[in-house]
Chain A
Amino acid sequence: MSDVATPHSTAGMGQKFLSNRNMVLTAATLAVLVLMCGVFATLTDRFLTVSNFQNVMRNAAPVIIASCGMTTVMIARGLDLSVGSVLAASSVIAGSLAVAGVPLYLAFLLAVLFGAAVGAVNGVIIAGLAVSPIIVTLGMLNIARGAAYLISPSAILVGLPSGWSFLGTAKVLGLPMPIVIAGIVVAVFYVMTSYTTFGKRIYAIGGNEEAARLSGINIKRTLLWLYVMCGMTAALAGVVLSSRVGSGDPNIGVGFELQVIAAIIIGGTSLSGGEGRILGTVIGALIIGVLANGLNLAGVEPFWQFVAQGLVLIVAIIVDRLVQDGVLKMRKGA
């Protein structure tokens, strides 16, 4: 009989549920995604299939990978506009090394380390010299893109070894490799932000940098690591994407940073820092991916797709914010 809910115990359970605000907000974002899937499933019978699920996930994987790094930066009230260019530069670095005969694993590793180096430069300037992240990473956006063109001036690389496409096209237990890699990156960042001291420091810095400083958090070092990880995930996304399209190409990833930022904001990360969640970002990336895929499968004309994508993204944000406001009011009421 003890498990029979009384009004008092129900309120207690509700309070406990509401105390986990992140869970509710993630559920709200997930509801938007499910709603979209439902709409597309009614519009076309091609949408709800295993192969299309893999297709959506495969296409969304680079955005998910890069978004994980960027989410932590944004939680700490930072921003990295250079992720698209780092993605392109890592693509041609890996490609050029592979063409030169460097073993593929080493070529991919060096490309990811290049991303880490770019992130370190961003982090040193932003954290060490207290320069606006927008300005620094905007500059880095141009530098990295220029570097990509300098490395591969005649654009798409040819003569890549046969194993080049492994990371983009191989399957593990039936799952495409990009999905597996994205899953691993998500797991790492989820654990880091949810269960580690380092994760708590990120939220503390984003919530109130001065308070974080006074409580003994090394702001500069933490920010430096965040930008390093952001650069690494952008470069890893570049390696995965290049592997998928079968080439190193300095032209890939134009506008990629906007997709990443959109996914993160849709996922509930605040532009003013201190709030955000990795799972929300993943759902945000999937919302963007499902939207593009669903509109194509439904045969919507390309120009209307621009309009529809803009509208749905705005509606998704409004719904998310309404739910957030509702949660806050309920918490206050409780």
Chain B
Amino acid sequence: MTWNVLTRALRGSAVLLCTLGAQAAAETAVETAASTFSTDLCEPIDKAAVADIPGAVSGFTGYASAPGMWLTEPEASALTGKRIAMSVMSLGHPYFQAIANHWETLAEKYDFELRVFDGRFDAGTVQRMVDDIISYAPDGVAFAPLDSAASVPQVKRMLDAGLKVVTYNVQPAEMVAPRVFANDFDGPRIVGCNLARYFQAKFPERDPVIGIVDQPELLQVQDRKNGFLYGFLSLMPEARVAQAVNGGGVIDKANAAASDLLQAHPDINVIFGINNDSSLGTVAALKAVGKYSDEWGALASVDGSEPIMGELGNPVSPLKAESGYGPYDFSLAAFNLLAATIEGEADETTQVVVGYPPIIPTEDGIESWLAQQYPR
């Protein structure tokens, strides 16, 4: 009897200790990510390690510009009473859905007529959409190019039709109109720096082996990938890049590609997903092979949409570094820039570079990001 009680007590204590230990370990992982978090770019400790990484291959310029006043909601706007056309790459994407929502809020607040045009991620649709926008004859256009090169004649056509145009997100290959864009190299570079800091602190005894869930046909995405690698290898030059697989930027294809990546390189312990869908596909792949744990390694991505925030705040998730690609910031900057363009205060040389703010993996950090960028 006494022996049974003692055994039960010992078992209970062991379970309690394991639970507490697991909780402590989980808390440590989140705390480690928070304590190693920084908004600063890291510089390479061994320049040879990053020498072969291409710079900004998408040809974007003017990264040094800061958004400054463009990210302030004005008391009054030149858009009031005007008819405005705003295009999105695809309303099926949460980022552009959020952009459309922010613009609708702005239209209500500043009292202007808004028509949203959906490019459906399709070059032919965007081409036809430009004609529709010209027919609509708005006072101003906030245009989301699908492709840097193809957008140049599209913007020129709208300008030739006498429309006031600004572009946002993907930057046209030529300076044809005022534009809002982000630094697709340095934003993910900060993610790389933060993930390397976390990895060093969490797994001091391990050598990092990197896999990328990529979308190689998009230059903007290549900047993201190269920026991440530059940041990570700056602090951990001994890291080995095992392979980049094509996840297509969507969750189902990314899941299959990440599964193959994990099969091909079981030693991979760092993965960068080029967007949130790619990372969520990777999360599912890790779960399928029983590797989903903060003890497996480290995962990072960029975008900062709501589903990935759930992973960032999850103590057992390996996702421990994320930079936001803010729909509110893009909306407000494009809104202000379009007003300035209508008032003749901006021309084709005007550019606004909004940030890729790294999101601190704490409850407050995640909540404040979502509250501003993805309000419910």
- Judged by a CB distance under 8 angstroms, whether B97 is at the interface is yes
A249 CB contacts on chain B under 8 angstroms: 251-252
Task: Pick from A14-22, A201-209, A293-301 the stretch touching chain B.
Answer: A293-301
B216 with A244: CB separation less than 8 A: no
Task: Pick from B15-23, B26-34, B284-292 the stretch touching chain A.
Answer: B284-292
Query: Roughly how many angstroms separate A155 CA and B216 CA in the complex, as a whole number?
Result: 23
- Judged by a CB distance under 8 angstroms, whether A165 is at the interface is yes
Q: How many A-B residue pairs have CB under 8 A?
A: 103
Q: Given the interface contacts A51-B263, A296-B260, A297-B263, does A251 sit within 8 Å of B92 by beta carbon? A: yes
Closest 6 CB pairs of A and B: A296-B260, A302-B246, A155-B94, A252-B252, A297-B264, A245-B284
Q: List 14 A-B contacts (CB under 8 A).
A: A46-B263, A149-B91, A154-B98, A154-B374, A155-B92, A176-B288, A245-B251, A245-B252, A246-B280, A251-B92, A252-B252, A292-B260, A293-B260, A302-B246
A156 with B307: CB separation less than 8 A: yes
CB distance from A87 to the nearest CB of B (A): 9
Task: Give A contacts to B, CB under 8 Å.
Answer: 44, 46, 49, 51-52, 55, 58-59, 145, 149, 153-156, 158, 165, 168-169, 176, 241, 244-247, 249-254, 292-293, 296-297, 299, 302-303, 305
B277 CB contacts on chain A under 8 angstroms: 156, 251
Chain B residues numbered 272-308 whose CB sits less than 8 Å from any CB in chain A: 277, 280-281, 283-284, 287-289, 305-307
B250 with A254: CB separation less than 8 A: yes
Query: Roughly how many angstroms separate A165 CA and B284 CA in the complex, as a whole number?
Result: 9
CB distance from A84 to the nearest CB of B (A): 10
Query: Roughly how many angstroms separate A308 CA and B218 CA in the complex, as a whole number?
Result: 20
- Judged by a CB distance under 8 angstroms, whether B255 is at the interface is yes
B251 with A247: CB separation less than 8 A: yes
- Judged by a CB distance under 8 angstroms, whether B47 is at the interface is no
A168 CB contacts on chain B under 8 angstroms: 284, 288
A55 CB contacts on chain B under 8 angstroms: 259-260, 263, 288-289
A58 with B98: CB separation less than 8 A: no
Q: Given the interface contacts A153-B97, A302-B216, A302-B246, does A245 sit within 8 Å of B263 by beta carbon? A: no
Query: Roughly how many angstroms separate A246 CA and B285 CA in the complex, as a whole number?
Result: 10
B243 with A299: CB separation less than 8 A: yes
A296 CB contacts on chain B under 8 angstroms: 243, 245, 257, 260-261, 263-264
B281 with A245: CB separation less than 8 A: yes
B256 CB contacts on chain A under 8 angstroms: 59, 292
User: Binding site of B, secondary structure by majority: helix, strand, loop or mixed?
Assistant: helix
- Judged by a CB distance under 8 angstroms, whether B55 is at the interface is no
Interface string of B236-257 (1 = CB under 8 A from A): 0000000111100011100111
Q: A149-B92, A252-B252, A296-B243 are in contact. List 12 more A-B contacts (CB 8 A).
A: A46-B264, A51-B263, A154-B374, A156-B94, A165-B284, A244-B284, A251-B250, A251-B251, A292-B260, A293-B263, A303-B217, A305-B246
Query: Roughly how many angstroms separate A252 CA and B93 CA in the complex, as a whole number?
Result: 11
Q: Given the interface contacts A156-B251, A245-B284, A247-B280, does A299 sit within 8 Å of B306 by beta carbon? A: no
CB distance from A285 to the nearest CB of B (A): 13
A241 with B252: CB separation less than 8 A: yes
B216 with A252: CB separation less than 8 A: no
A158 CB contacts on chain B under 8 angstroms: 306-307, 310
B244 with A302: CB separation less than 8 A: yes
A293 CB contacts on chain B under 8 angstroms: 260, 263
CB distance from B373 to the nearest CB of A (A): 12
A169 with B287: CB separation less than 8 A: yes
Interface centre among A158, A292, A302, A303 (most CB of B within 10 A): A302
B97 with A155: CB separation less than 8 A: yes
A241 CB contacts on chain B under 8 angstroms: 252
Interface string of B82-115 (1 = CB under 8 A from A): 0000000001111001100000000000000000
Query: Roughly how many angstroms separate A252 CA and B283 CA in the complex, as a whole number?
Result: 16
Q: Given the interface contacts A297-B264, A302-B246, does A251 sit within 8 Å of B283 by beta carbon? A: no
Query: Roughly how many angstroms separate A154 CA and B290 CA in the complex, as a whole number?
Result: 29
B307 CB contacts on chain A under 8 angstroms: 156, 158, 247
- Judged by a CB distance under 8 angstroms, whether B214 is at the interface is yes
B92 with A250: CB separation less than 8 A: yes
Q: Which of A44, A246, A251, A252 contacts B287 (CB 8 A)?
A: A246
A154 CB contacts on chain B under 8 angstroms: 94, 97-98, 306, 374
Query: Roughly how many angstroms separate A305 CA and B245 CA in the complex, as a whole number?
Result: 10
B93 with A251: CB separation less than 8 A: yes
A176 CB contacts on chain B under 8 angstroms: 288
Query: Roughly how many angstroms separate A291 CA and B261 CA in the complex, as a whole number?
Result: 14
Query: Roughly how many angstroms separate A158 CA and B250 CA in the complex, as a whole number?
Result: 16
Interface centre among A49, A52, A247 (most CB of B within 10 A): A247
Query: Roughly how many angstroms separate A176 CA and B259 CA in the complex, as a whole number?
Result: 14
Query: Roughly how many angstroms separate A293 CA and B258 CA in the complex, as a whole number?
Result: 10
B255 with A245: CB separation less than 8 A: yes
CB distance from B52 to the nearest CB of A (A): 16
